[in-house]
Amino acid sequence: MSRIAILKTGSTRLTDTVRRRGGDYETWFAEVLQGAGADTVVIDAVRGALPSTRDWDGIVITGSPASVHDLEPWSERASAWIAAEVADNVPVLGVCYGHQLLAHALGGETGPAAVHEVGMFPVQITSDDRLFADLPSRLPTYLIHYNEVTTLPPGASVLAHSERCPIQAFAFGDHVRAVQWHPEFDAGGVREAISQDADTLRARGEDAGYLAEQVREVPYGTVLLENFVHKFVESRTVTAA
């Protein structure tokens, strides 16, 4: 059985969703990863020490309410740790903050989003990358971000974009992938995020009620995470054996 480390980079502020689903970012990732046949271990990058001895076959980096470009000490330590894991050819998937942290760790840049995305938005997949196997090229996604990757790391390539965000996903080598959207979320969590940010959204010319009405349940996040397990982590473990 493959073992995946979930690097926790913060805690969700979605209190209703936590009560309804239980747990936090890492719990929601673990549900899908374990359902795909992987074992999981949680590493708290904010409060805990980063391990120096590896006992995992892949890494998933969670979202966070923090901003990568604030260069907080814990985040900079996590960035250096991630860069070392990538250099050792460990499969890594970054999600939202994890997407941005991966870009930063590998030499790219992040910053405030030119146009924010809070709600359910279509993302255009521009590659037949195996991370997106069995997914539609125009993919409905859950997005909650006010920051974004502004410059790709050297050697990375864009895998997806949206109307509001030119770098929705990127690849680095054959073992590192990152997505701006939240494959671990459900529709209820996105609606809660819209409700919490309603005043901010209205101030920016958005209709929070309309955004909430557009949100529906989709299975694609589960498929993406399963693809990471089967097509990146497991395949690399078999090759290494």
The model's pLDDT over 76-106, given as tens digits with 9 standing for 90+, comes to 999 999 999 999 999 999 999 999 999 999 9
CB 164 within 8 A of CB 174: no
Which is catalytic among the residues 85, 148, 184, 234?
184
182 is catalytic: yes
Domains of the chain with CATH codes: 3-240 (3.40.50.880)
Q: Who contacts 74 (Cβ-Cβ below 8 Å, separation ≥6)? A: 45, 46
CA neighbours closer than 13 Å in the CB half-sphere of residue 62: 27
Q: For residue 93, what are the β-bridge partners?
A: 60, 177
pLDDT in tens, 9-63: 999 999 999 999 999 999 999 999 999 999 999 999 999 889 999 999 999 999 9
* Orientation angle between helical segments 97-105 and 73-87, nearest 10 degrees: 70
User: Which is the catalytic residue, given 182, 192, 226, 234?
Assistant: 182
Question: What residues contact residue 240 under an 8 Å CB cut-off, 6+ apart?
Answer: none
DSSP 41-94: EEEETTTSPPPSS---SEEEE---SS-GGG--HHHHHHHHHHHHHHHTT--EEE
- The pair phi, psi for residue 108, each rounded to 5°, is -90, -170
Out of 26, 96, 145, 148, pick the active-site residue: 96
User: pTM of the predicted model, to two decimals?
Assistant: 0.96
By DSSP bridging, strand 109-125 and strand 157-161 are antiparallel
